[in-house]
Structure 1
Amino acid sequence: MITILETSPLNTVQDLGRPGYRNLGVSTSGVMDPVALRAGNILLGNNDDAACIELQTYPFVLRLDAAATFVVTGIDAAIELDGRPVLPWMVETAAAGQVLRIGQPGRGARGYVCIAGGIDVPVVLGSRSTQLRGGFGGLDGRPLEAGDTLKTTGTTLDMAGYGALPPSAVLKDAAGEADGRTIHLRAMPATDYELFTPEARQRLWTTPWRITPQSDRVGYRLSGAPLELRHRVELRSYGVIAGIVQVPPSGEPIVQLSDANTVGGYPRIATVIEADLWRLGQARIGTHIHLHECSFAEGVAAMRPVSAYLDDLRMMAGRYRQSARRRAGMKSGDRA
């Protein structure tokens, strides 16, 4: 069991989401940075989709009412366990009653508190993710509040003190950089790309788009030179997924994200590839993003380094746990 002592708005329980219900008007939801959640769960030996606490606002303080092993991924922030500094992306074990405090990140936007065994909330439509607009999933379908308690399995690992490099330090972005102030994302021209003027299509790839405060888990609204259509069009509603870049009448794009609407009707100019959505999920309000055109084949190939990062982490964590158990067994034998 854990108790929330201090939280700001919009921190929720999330997992990898609930696919398969968009035809019923239910969005996928789930974490904004699935790579960070998968990495945390791999480090703890959890199932990949074990639920966590997704942090969007800070500070966040919780008390571990039972001994538990945990890791905080997604961000580089000041983290303390009973006042002792704790490194992000590093596995730690807390004793019952210890308090975990997570401050404002220096890098990244969304942090993930992953607990060995996962957060135990009811499964709704195949997922533990919070759907804020629908008011279901997670803890009563709402953001966490001070005084809330969350069930955990109370699992502690027999080793700690190991961790991972964040993906931003390993995976190059669309500009061939590991990190930077401008977030570089790869995107494919979408269904309605040719409906825009040549000038607008060129501007899509050259404008440094700024993420505005009118942004949330549903989508990021971007500010920049407006994108014009060749002529006014009426489109039938179509299915929407995370990554689709829509252009409303204002001409300033909207990138759909985890809580994306299930249907929409604005013209689609591009789609951010799946391999880069985690980067977008870590982008702060006010950050600039730069879109780089890529092909479908390039978009598919871009998932390989992400999968390789997670596979390498899975192998490393497994070997570390095996080695730790072997050392523990040898010590037990010596005592016998």
Structure 2
Amino acid sequence: MKPGSLGRYIVVRLLLAIPMVLILLTLVFLLLRAIPGDPVTATLGGRATPAQIEAAREAMGLNDPLIVQYLEYMGGALTGDFGTPVTDPRGVVEIVAETAPATIELALAGMLVAVTVGILVGGLAGRLRDTPFDIGGRLFGIIIFAAPVFWTGLLAQLFFAVKLGWLPSSGRAGGFDQPEWITGFYVLDSLLTWDMAALESTLEHLILPAVTLGLLVGGIFIRLVRVNMMQTLRSDYVEAARARGLRERNVLYRYGFKTALIPIVTIMGLQFALLLGNAVLTERTFNWPGLAQALVDFIGQRDYAAVQGIVTFIALVIVGVSLLIDIITGLVDPRVRY
């Protein structure tokens, strides 16, 4: 393949993703073993004799050498077999299948909020440089990025759910308005079954956590779009377009706005990882039954199998999204292929 070709660029990105996943899996394995305690003592505690605890540890392979445990873990990760958690009768794959759609749906909705806020506020702030709107937009971006996500969520619950009563404060859908389970993505399932009551309930429950999560990343996008918009509008080709007599609206959209959005696409993969990380606090705050909340519960129980499986899935999602963003960036901006 020729240097600079899209095919070569994709192959290189795929090859780089392999060591990234292996490093993430290794870090998860080592960090879990570094935490005091293990799933046997966390589960049985004082309810079992030392002999029973030792027998359980032996059955789970916790007495095996660390390298043996690591090889078994990597073998299971490569085959998709993470076993059954100690604290849950369901298999790890089943737990991920049941809870991951909720977290991914929340993260996608949060990303939509972040991109919308970032483009609108950042684009206008860059166009109206040093005006009151620009100053207000910059302050708004700093505040929403600096504010802890759980604090923003609690304020949103207090104001919009408790005081005004406009939106529900927690949960994913009303008890009698849950859509028929098809994909696990409630919005999509509601549309597939054409259940408008379920769709309305799902969107009402999704608004507060999605806005809370999205505003965090929206602050980053506001600053990035603003800076790129200002730089683009001062570039030579924009001045040349104006000199040719093009309408200002066309100049802003065709030459300024589109070019300023390229960096947004570039960092969306990293920001999606940030969204998944902050989904832990968001799901806790809004009692959202997602993968992140399940992960926190299993970490507290020192359940190695469940934590390893969930973190592996999250790592694969992040790597997959980053790879997709890299490919889109290569299509939008051919310069990155070289």
Length-normalised TM-score, structure 2: 0.24
Query: Greater CA radius of gyration, 1 or 2?
Result: 2
Q: Which structure is richer in relative contact order (CA contacts within 8 A, separation 6 or more)?
A: 2
Length-normalised TM-score, structure 1: 0.24
